[in-house]
Structure 1
Amino acid sequence: MKWFKSLQVKYLLIVFLAMAIIPISIPIISLVVYVPATYIEGTTKNHPYTSYKELEEEWHKEATTLSEENENEVKTRLQELHNKYTDSQIFWVDKFGVTRDNFGYNGSLPQKWTSSYTVQFMKESIDSDPYTVVAFFNEDSTNGFMVIKVDRQLLDPPIQRLSNHYGTITLVVIALILVFFVILSWLFFRSIHKRLLRLSNAMQMKDNQNIPKSITITRDDEIGQLEESFNQMIHELKLSNQREQEQEILRKDLIANLSHDLRTPLTTIRAQLTHIKDEVKSKKGNEALEAINYKIDYVSTLIDNLLSYTLLSAKKYPYHPVKIELNRFVRKIVAQWYPLFEKQQVEIDLVTNPNFVEWNVDPLWLERILDNLLQNVIRHASEGKYVQIAIENHHTVTIQDKGKGYTSKSNNQGAGIGLTIVDLMIQEMQLEWSIEKNEIGTKVTITTNIK
């Protein structure tokens, strides 16, 4: 990333502009205000007034060319000058102090000028507004004089006229510059906010692998680096997820193949034990064969559980829910387990519900759940010599024993995969279950949310 593309540099540039905006704005204001105004004044000037000096020189020049002896000539020329300077006030007084012609004069003039009045008029005309120019005919103070008055505003240069409003213009321009700075800062941080919000939204939008989608890198700055790191993280997550899926497939295939390969020799061993049983006559020999046969059953059950767990995890275990009558279904399961419990001298207490109880489940799945739970009673709680299977109401089935519980040490502990299968199947069928353990025994409760 180049340094001038950094957000930090851009922010510092905005801060620097903010600090320098006032001193920089003064000459800018002068250029903005005076130069265009002067140019416009020069191109659109439609009056003959130029400056104080030029008006004074022209007026004295006209006085030297006129003679009060020729009254008509004076009157005619002053009329022409008034026509030229339309906003002016013009009059003339002869050498006897008599007011003669006036053109556009707004005030009142005495018919006869006295010395004191003349002096007073001269004093009031100095630096007054309107600007007053007095010129004696032929530049001789003994002769009469002619007077012109012009508003100073017409003679002031454009800059001078603008200076009256310079303070207001300065405040307005500074206010506009500050507004521009505020808008620039807002746009800068708004751009950052939008890009961060876009990145945040991208984290929430996930694909079918539950991984966020990659985003397009907009700029080569700090946020652009963050976007690039985000895309790199997404890429690594996808690779990791792909590796995990491949390893999971290999693991499941391995378990499935091992389950099949182990089941075949177990079946062969069981068949050979059947032939050997007829040859063994001693009591100890029969007991040994029975123990071997029990362990074969145990290993076979573990292999079935392992294969079932693999299929359930892969969502490949067949699931076909139907409506079943729960009382009849539970009685059938208990009848299948009755000989084994009787052999273990465990009392079975079956409590059915007098009403018709219907559940919408997969019969094979529910049978597998009950088989695993009853098998756990045999393995871990047979010393309690009691098990109760009860259909308490339309939504609840309980299995309660008086043993030490599944967490206690026993001679027949497994890997706990049977309960894991129970949990997976219950979740898939949208049921709920719980295990309560106390000093009396263990109680497993299965409930359905279907009303």
Structure 2
Amino acid sequence: MMRLFRSLLAKYMMIIILAIFLMQLVYLILAVFVFSLSKGIDETYSSDEADYEAIEKQWHEEGKQLQGATVQEVQQLFEEWKDKYADASMFWVNQDGDLVTQLDVTEELPAEWTPEYTARFIKERYDGDPFTVIAFVGNDESNGFIVFEIPREVFKTPLEMTYDKFGAVLLIGSIIIIFLFIFLSFLFFKGIRKRLLHLQEAMEIRDVDGLPVQIEVNKQDEIGRLQQAFNQMVDELRESKLREQEEEQLRKELIANLSHDLRTPLTKINAQIYELEKADMPASTANSLTVMERSIADIDKLIENLMSYTLLMASKYKLDLEERDVIRSVRESLATWYPAFEKEGFTVEVEIGTFKHNNWLVDPIWFNRILDNLLQNVLRHANSGKYLAVKTESTAQYDAFIMQDKGNGMKGITEKKGAGIGLSIVDMMVKGMEMDWEIHSNDHGTMIKIIKWK
């Protein structure tokens, strides 16, 4: 039940109920106010006296009784009606069209009434304001007529008069309630929007681990529960990332230990092969020993690459940058590898010029390792082309070393065991020394470019 009362739906329903209650309260207050004002207004005429038909009938009866009446008698009648209807006005026009007498007439009346003026007067007063009753004096039209006029407003009830006076207040009060409801609804949805935008910002912000940051939960409504679910998701992501890091660390330690353990038996095998090579044996046996020795060397190289890759991934492979003549380093590395390429029947073309600045800021061990991995890949995986070219290239934007072969391309390389790790090591070391590299490969060969931007 408490969860229901904390919900956004319950809060908005409370706003609607409050708006309805306030509107009813305002109507009640205004009604009491109007009623109290109406009680203070003098009730000049009773409901019976406010009956237009009764007044008209009585005025005609009074007119009939004036047969042969004098001016004083007519004036006396006017005064009696004036006592009863204080806001009324009356006058008498005789049979000759002369205005004989009048009482409290505010407008200017002609002294002589023509038939045309009389007809126009009757037409203007018909069903108009003021309420007008015209009665003949006596039993026929020959004695003229008497006129009774009174504003229709005085016949309204006190409540009607008060409503006419304060109806605008009621309308304004209703409008205020409506605008108050709209304003409260605006504030309500503005608060919801603000909280949702805050949650969106929290989803977009990342901490040092690349995970979203948690958000403070202030309310226990639907959005608050959404924020709690988001915080729970962040906790689960953090725990998952921690487990992943622990598993990654265990995997790296396993690879490092495995690499170390594998090298021990390989060293013993190499020692036994060396002892066997001293003995006299058939040529076929000697060839087999040579193949075994090369395979062991390949395995040792793969273990070394795996170890280096693990150390690089763990950021434990020390980087020691220093100014080094890279032209000289490349030439020395080629000189070391040249006998191996010559033995395999490679055609080696070397076009190494000089740069404007031969000294690059590199780690000598890392740089030589890059060269060794690339040259070894050519020797092992581009043997079908029997070709290697090493060149330099210099532009206004960069200096670069280019290695090119005529093998079967990178597809053939990646299908062979160990080449992917070697290239991954090259990638991490090149970028670690703030250089770039490019690979362009097809079925006719591969070109690799090591770039140093100026």
Q: Please confirm whether the aligned pair reaches a TM-score higher than 0.5, indicating the same fold.
A: yes
- 2:263 — aligned with what? 263
- 1:434 — aligned with what? 438
Distance change (3 Å), C-alpha of 1:282 and 1:3: same
- 1:246 — aligned with what? 246
Aligned runs of 1:29-48 on 2, under 5 Å? 29-36=26-33
Q: CA deviation at 1:270?
A: 2.0
Secondary structure at the aligned position of 2:393 is classed as strand
Secondary structure at the aligned position of 1:258 is classed as helix
Letter of the aligned partner of 1:446 in structure 2?
A: I
Q: CA deviation at 1:299?
A: 0.8
Gapped regions of structure 2 (runs ≥ 5): 46-70, 90-152
Distance change (3 Å), C-alpha of 1:426 and 1:409: closer
Question: Matched residue pairs, number?
Answer: 365
Q: Is the 8 A contact 2:82 2:88 kept in 1?
A: no
Distance change (3 Å), C-alpha of 1:226 and 1:315: same
Q: CA deviation at 1:387?
A: 0.6
Q: CA deviation at 1:254?
A: 0.7
- 2:223 — aligned with what? 223
- 1:197 — aligned with what? 197
Identify which of 399, 423, 448 aligns with 2:403: 399
Q: Is the 8 A contact 2:350 2:389 kept in 1?
A: yes
Identify which of 425, 428, 432 aligns with 1:424: 428
Identify which of 442, 448, 451 aligns with 1:447: 451
Letter of the aligned partner of 2:25 in structure 1?
A: I
Secondary structure at the aligned position of 1:236 is classed as helix
Alpha-carbon displacement from aligned partner over 1:252-274 (angstroms, at most 9, x marks no partner): 11111111111122223223332
Report the TM-score when normalising by structure 2.
0.71
Q: Is the 8 A contact 2:439 2:447 kept in 1?
A: yes
Alpha-carbon displacement from aligned partner over 1:404-424 (angstroms, at most 9, x marks no partner): 123127996436211111122
Letter of the aligned partner of 2:81 in structure 1?
A: K
Letter of the aligned partner of 1:430 in structure 2?
A: E
Q: Is the 8 A contact 1:404 1:439 kept in 2?
A: yes
* Structure 1 position 317 matched with structure 2 position 317: yes
Secondary structure at the aligned position of 2:360 is classed as strand
Gapped regions of structure 1 (runs ≥ 5): 54-112, 132-152
Distance change (3 Å), C-alpha of 1:322 and 1:285: same
Report the TM-score when normalising by structure 1.
0.71
**1: distance between equivalents of 2:158 and 2:365?**
103
**1: distance between equivalents of 2:414 and 2:238?**
44
**2: distance between equivalents of 1:411 and 1:212?**
39
Letter of the aligned partner of 1:31 in structure 2?
A: L
Alpha-carbon displacement from aligned partner over 1:33-89 (angstroms, at most 9, x marks no partner): 2435777999xx9xxx97659xxxxxxxxxxxxxxxxxxxxxxxxxxxxxxxxxxxx
Q: CA deviation at 1:379?
A: 1.0
Q: Is the 8 A contact 2:388 2:406 kept in 1?
A: yes
Aligned runs of 1:278-357 on 2, under 5 Å? 278-356=278-356, 357=358
Secondary structure at the aligned position of 1:209 is classed as coil
Q: Is the 8 A contact 2:391 2:401 kept in 1?
A: yes
Q: CA deviation at 1:345?
A: 1.2
Alpha-carbon displacement from aligned partner over 1:7-47 (angstroms, at most 9, x marks no partner): 234445656777x68xx83x5344222435777999xx9xx
Aligned runs of 1:46-445 on 2, under 5 Å? 114-124=72-82, 126-129=84-87, 162-356=162-356, 357-393=358-394, 394-408=398-412, 413-414=417-418, 416-445=420-449
Distance change (3 Å), C-alpha of 1:404 and 1:126: same
Alpha-carbon displacement from aligned partner over 1:199-244 (angstroms, at most 9, x marks no partner): 1111122222222222233322222221222122112112211111
Letter of the aligned partner of 2:405 in structure 1?
A: D
Letter of the aligned partner of 1:209 in structure 2?
A: D
Letter of the aligned partner of 1:175 in structure 2?
A: I
- 2:62 — aligned with what? none
Distance change (3 Å), C-alpha of 1:333 and 1:415: closer
Q: CA deviation at 1:193?
A: 0.8
RMSD: 3.6
Distance change (3 Å), C-alpha of 1:171 and 1:51: closer
Alpha-carbon displacement from aligned partner over 1:394-451 (angstroms, at most 9, x marks no partner): 4222110011123127996436211111122223223222221234311112223x32
Q: Is the 8 A contact 2:37 2:162 kept in 1?
A: no
Distance change (3 Å), C-alpha of 1:320 and 1:418: same
Letter of the aligned partner of 2:450 in structure 1?
A: I
Secondary structure at the aligned position of 2:411 is classed as coil
**2: distance between equivalents of 1:189 and 1:369?**
61
Identity of aligned residues (%): 39
Q: CA deviation at 1:300?
A: 0.7
Letter of the aligned partner of 1:310 in structure 2?
A: T
